[in-house]
C-alpha cells in the first residue's frame, strides 16, 4: 500500500539523517544521564525510599529528554524548507507523521536502552528478571510520548518561542503516560514484582487514541 | 443590544437568587455545617465549566472541518470562559477543603484532572498569542484543543485507577445519591444559573472577538486607500 | 458559625473573578468600538 511504502522511504531518510551525525541520540542520552544524576543529588539514592521513587524519576527523565528531543523533529524541515517537497513526495501526509513517529519512538527506545544500566546501578535495582515486560512497558510508553510529541512538534514549529512552547504543550498531555508507566514500572521492579496488565492495556489505549487522532487530523498540521 | 442587556440582568439576578437559596433555603449539613454551602456554587461552576469546554471542543472540530472564522471565535471564547470557571473551581475547592479535610489539596482523580484541564487550556490560549497569522492560529489552536480535550478523560481515569489511595471526597463524588431533596433542588438550580451566566459571558466575549475582526478588516481597507 | 468567613471568601472570590473577567471584556469592547468608529470616519473622509 502506498502509505506503507511512503512511510518506509521517509523512515529510511529519518534514520539515515540521524545516524549520520548521531547528535540527537548522544545529546539526549547524556541529558537523561545528567537528570538521573541530579535526581540523586536532590534525593537520597540507595535508601529504600529512593527505590520507590526511582521508577517515577526514570519516567520523568524520559519525559524531559523527549521534550528536548522533539524540538528538532519539524524544525529540521523548516530550516531547510524541505516540508513542501515532502508533501509533494507522498500521497498521504500521514506517511510523514508515521515515519517521524516511528523514528522518534526508535530514538527514544535506544536512549532508554542506553540509560537502563546506569539507572539499575544508581538505584540498586535488578532489571534482568522483569526485562521482557519492562521492555513492553517502555515500548508502549515511548510510543505514547512519541505520538503526542510528534504532533506537538508540528504545532510548535509554526509558532514563536518554540523551545518553551513544546514542553508547555506536551507535558500536560502526557500526564496519563507518566502516572501509569511509573506505577506499572514501580510494581514491576518491586521486591515482589507484580505485572499490572490493566496499566499496560491503558498505555495501549492511550497510544491508540492519539494515533487515531493523528491519523484523522495529521494532514491539517502540515497545511501550507 | 437590549437583548444582551436583558440577558445580563437576568443572569446576574439569577446569580443573586442562587446565593440566597444557597444560604437560606438549603438546610444545614449535619457534619460539615455552613462550609458545605460552598459546594452549590463550586460544583455548579465546575459542571458549567466542563460543558463550556465541551462546546469549545465542538467549535474546534467544526473549525477544522469547515474553516469558518465564527468557529474559531467560539473556540477562543469558550476557552476563556471555561478557564474562568475552572479557576474559580480550583480556588473555592481548597477554601472548602481546608476546614473539612484539614488540607488544601490532594492529588486524587477529580482535583488532578481539573488542574491538568486548567493547564491545557492555559496552554491553548498561550499558543494563540504565539502565532501571528490568523488562519494558521485558528487551525493549530483548534488541533491542539482537540488533542487536549481527548486527553482529559485519559488523565482522569489514569489518576482514578492508579493514584487515588483514599476514598473519594464524599461531597464531590456522585452526590446526587446521598443528597437531601431540598439540597438537590438548590444544587440543580445553581447548575442552571451557572449555565445561564456562562452563556451571557460567552455572548459578550464572542462579540468582542467579532469586533476585533471588524477592526482588522477596516484597518486593511484604510491602508489600501 | 465558625467557617462563615471561609464561605463568604469563596463567594466573593468566585464572583470577583467573574466580575473582573466581564469588566475586561467590557473595557476591550468599548476600546474596539471607538477604534471601529475612528477607522470608519477616516475611510469615509478619504473617499
DSSP at B107? -
Q: Write the residue in B64, B119, B162 that is nearest to A179 by C-beta.
A: B162
Residue B190's pLDDT is what? Answer: 94
List, for chain A, all residue ranges whose pLDDT scores fall below the cut of 70: 45-46
**Which residues from B are below 8 Å from A209, CB to CB?**
150, 154
Question: Which residue in the block uniquely carries the three cell numbers 475582526?
Answer: B213
Residue B178's pLDDT is what? Answer: 65
Domain count, chain C: 1
- The number of angstroms, rounded, from the C-alpha of B134 to the middle of its chain's C-alpha atoms is 25
- The number of angstroms, rounded, from the C-alpha of B62 to the middle of its chain's C-alpha atoms is 20
Residue A108 neighbours by CB under 8 Å, 6+ apart: A62, A66, A69, A142, A145, A146
- Testing the interface with B: which of A159, A183, A187, A203 to mutate, by most B Cβ within 10 A? A159
- Testing the interface with C: which of B8, B49, B84 to mutate, by most C Cβ within 10 A? B84
Closest to A98 measured CA to CA, from A203, A223, A10, A196 = A10
Interchain proximity C1–B33, CB inside 8 Å: yes
Interchain proximity A172–B126, CB inside 8 Å: no
Instruction: Please give the Cα distance from A196 to B133 (Å, whole number).
Output: 47
Instruction: Please give the Cα distance from A104 to B177 (Å, whole number).
Output: 48
Min Cα separation B95/chain A (Å): 25
B106, with CB counted inside 10 A (0-12, 13-18, 19+), is middle
Q: Write the residue in B120, B127, B150 that is nearest to A209 by C-beta.
A: B150
Instruction: Please give the Cα distance from B9 to A178 (Å, whole number).
Output: 46
- What are the start-end ranges of the H helices in A70-130? 71-80, 83-89, 94-122
Q: What is the pLDDT of residues B42-69, one digit of tens each?
A: 999 999 999 999 999 999 999 999 999 9
Instruction: Please give the Cα distance from A15 to A27 (Å, whole number).
Output: 16
The cell for B99 is 476546614
Instruction: Please give the Cα distance from B46 to B90 (Å, whole number).
Output: 9
- What are the start-end ranges of the H helices in chain A? 2-21, 23-42, 48-69, 71-80, 83-89, 94-122, 131-156, 162-173, 175-188, 197-221
Instruction: Please give the Cα distance from A18 to A34 (Å, whole number).
Output: 22
Cα-trace Rg, chain A = 18
Chain C, nearest residue to B40 by Cα: C11
Residue B167's pLDDT is what? Answer: 46
Chain B, nearest residue to A165 by Cα: B127
- DSSP per residue over B98-153, as a string? HHHHSSS----HHHHHHHHHHHHHHHHHHHHHT--SHHHHHHHHHHHHHHHHHHHH
Residue B174's pLDDT is what? Answer: 42
CB pairs under 8 A between A and B: 79
- The model carries a pTM of 0.91
A3, with CB counted inside 10 A (0-12, 13-18, 19+), is middle
Instruction: Please give the Cα distance from B138 to B131 (Å, whole number).
Output: 9
Residue-range definition of the domain harbouring residue C29: 1-47
Question: Which residue in the block uniquely carries the three cell numbers 521482557?
Answer: A132
Interchain proximity C13–B92, CB inside 8 Å: yes
ipTM score of complex: 0.90
C3, with CB counted inside 10 A (0-12, 13-18, 19+), is buried
- Testing the interface with A: which of B140, B146, B165 to mutate, by most A Cβ within 10 A? B140
Helices and strands in chain B, H and E counts: 6, 0
**Which residues from C are below 8 Å from B84, CB to CB?**
17-18, 21
Residue A45's pLDDT is what? Answer: 67
CA angle A19, A217, B208 (to 5 degrees): 120
Interchain proximity B41–C21, CB inside 8 Å: no
Q: What is the pLDDT of residues B160-180, one digit of tens each?
A: 888 765 544 544 444 444 678
Residue B224's pLDDT is what? Answer: 85
Closest to B39 measured CA to CA, from B198, B183, B196, B193 = B183
CA distances (Å), origin A103, targets A90, A107, A108, A143, C6: 17, 6, 9, 10, 54
Residue B225's pLDDT is what? Answer: 80
Are A123 and A85 a contacting pair, CB within 8 Å? no
Q: Write the residue in B143, B158, B159 that is nearest to A217 by C-beta.
A: B143
Are A9 and A86 a contacting pair, CB within 8 Å? no
* Average pLDDT over chain C, rounded to an integer: 91
Instruction: Please give the Cα distance from B164 to B158 (Å, whole number).
Output: 9
Interchain proximity B116–A175, CB inside 8 Å: yes
Phi then psi for residue B33, to 5 deg, are 75, -140
Are B78 and B55 a contacting pair, CB within 8 Å? yes
List, for chain B, all residue ranges whose pLDDT scores fall below the cut of 70: 164-178
**Which residues from C are below 8 Å from B95, CB to CB?**
6, 9-10, 13
Task: List residues in chain A touching B: CB distance below 8 A.
Answer: 148, 151-152, 155, 158-161, 165, 168-169, 172-173, 175-176, 179-180, 183, 198-199, 202, 205-206, 209-210, 213, 217, 220-221, 223
Are B105 and B111 a contacting pair, CB within 8 Å? yes
Chain A, nearest residue to B113 by Cα: A175
Interchain proximity B151–A152, CB inside 8 Å: no
Q: Find the helix or strand (DSSP H, E) in which B217 lies.
A: helix B181-224
Other CB atoms within 10 Å distance of the CB of residue B126: 16
Are A168 and A193 a contacting pair, CB within 8 Å? no
Closest to B56 measured CA to CA, from B67, B69, B44, B72 = B72
Amino acid at each position: 500500500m502506498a502509505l506503507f511504502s511512503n512511510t518506509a522511504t521517509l523512515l529510511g531518510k529519518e534514520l539515515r539523517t540521524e545516524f549520520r551525525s548521531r547528535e540527537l541520540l548522544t545529546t539526549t542520552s547524556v541529558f537523561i544521564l545528567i537528570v538521573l544524576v541530579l535526581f540523586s543529588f536532590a534525593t537520597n539514592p540507595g535508601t529504600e525510599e529512593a527505590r520507590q521513587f526511582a521508577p517515577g524519576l526514570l519516567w520523568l527523565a524520559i519525559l524531559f529528554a523527549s521534550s528536548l528531543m522533539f524540538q528538532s523533529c519539524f524544525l529540521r524541515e523548516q530550516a531547510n524548507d524541505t516540508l513542501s517537497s515532502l508533501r509533494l513526495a507522498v500521497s498521504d501526509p500521514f506517511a510523514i507523521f508515521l515515519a517521524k513517529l516511528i523514528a522518534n519512538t526508535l530514538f527514544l527506545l535506544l536512549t532508554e536502552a542506553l540509560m537502563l544500566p546506569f539507572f539499575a546501578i544508581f538505584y540498586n535495582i535488578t532489571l534482568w528478571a522483569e526485562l521482557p515486560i519492562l521492555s513492553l512497558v517502555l515500548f508502549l510508553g515511548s510510543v505514547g510520548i512519541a505520538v503526542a510529541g510528534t504532533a506537538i512538534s508540528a504545532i510548535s514549529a509554526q509558532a514563536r518561542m518554540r523551545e518553551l512552547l513544546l514542553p508547555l504543550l506536551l507535558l500536560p498531555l502526557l500526564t496519563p503516560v507518566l502516572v501509569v508507566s511509573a506505577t506499572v514500572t514501580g510494581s514491576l521492579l518491586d521486591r515482589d514484582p507484580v505485572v499490572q496488565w490493566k496499566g499496560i492495556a491503558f498505555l495501549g489505549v492511550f497510544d491508540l487514541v492519539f494515533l487515531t487522532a493523528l491519523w484523522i487530523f495529521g494532514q491539517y498540521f502540515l497545511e501550507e | 443590544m437590549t437583548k444582551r442587556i436583558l440577558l445580563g440582568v437576568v443572569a446576574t439576578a439569577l446569580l443573586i437568587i442562587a446565593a440566597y437559596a444557597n444560604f437560606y433555603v438549603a438546610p444545614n449539613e449535619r457534619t460539615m455545617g455552613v462550609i458545605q454551602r460552598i459546594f452549590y456554587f463550586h460544583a455548579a461552576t465546575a459542571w458549567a465549566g466542563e460543558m463550556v469546554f465541551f462546546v469549545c471542543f465542538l467549535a474546534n472540530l467544526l473549525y477544522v472541518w469547515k474553516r469558518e472564522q465564527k468557529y474559531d471565535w467560539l473556540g477562543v471564547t469558550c476557552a476563556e470562559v471555561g478557564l474562568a470557571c475552572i479557576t474559580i473551581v480550583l480556588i473555592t475547592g481548597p477554601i472548602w477543603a481546608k476546614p473539612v479535610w484539614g488540607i488544601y489539596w490532594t492529588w486524587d482523580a477529580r482535583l488532578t484532572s481539573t488542574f491538568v484541564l486548567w493547564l491545557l487550556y492555559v496552554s491553548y490560549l498561550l499558543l494563540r498569542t504565539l502565532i501571528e497569522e490568523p488562519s494558521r492560529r485558528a487551525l493549530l489552536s483548534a488541533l491542539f484543543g482537540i488533542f487536549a480535550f481527548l486527553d482529559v478523560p485519559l488523565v482522569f481515569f489514569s489518576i482514578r485507577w492508579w493514584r487515588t489511595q483514599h476514598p473519594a471526597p464524599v461531597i464531590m463524588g456522585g452526590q446526587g445519591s446521598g443528597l437531601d431533596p431540598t439540597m438537590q433542588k438548590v444544587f440543580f438550580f445553581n447548575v442552571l444559573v451557572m449555565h445561564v451566566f456562562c452563556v451571557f459571558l460567552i455572548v459578550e466575549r464572542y462579540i468582542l472577538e467579532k469586533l476585533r475582526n471588524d477592526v482588522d478588516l477596516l484597518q486593511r481597507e484604510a491602508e489600501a486607500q | 458559625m465558625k467557617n462563615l468567613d471561609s464561605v463568604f471568601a469563596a463567594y466573593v472570590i468566585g464572583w470577583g473573578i467573574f466580575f473582573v473577567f466581564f469588566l475586561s471584556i467590557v473595557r476591550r469592547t468599548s476600546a474596539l468600538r471607538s477604534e471601529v468608529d475612528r477607522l470608519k470616519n477616516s475611510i469615509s473622509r478619504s473617499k
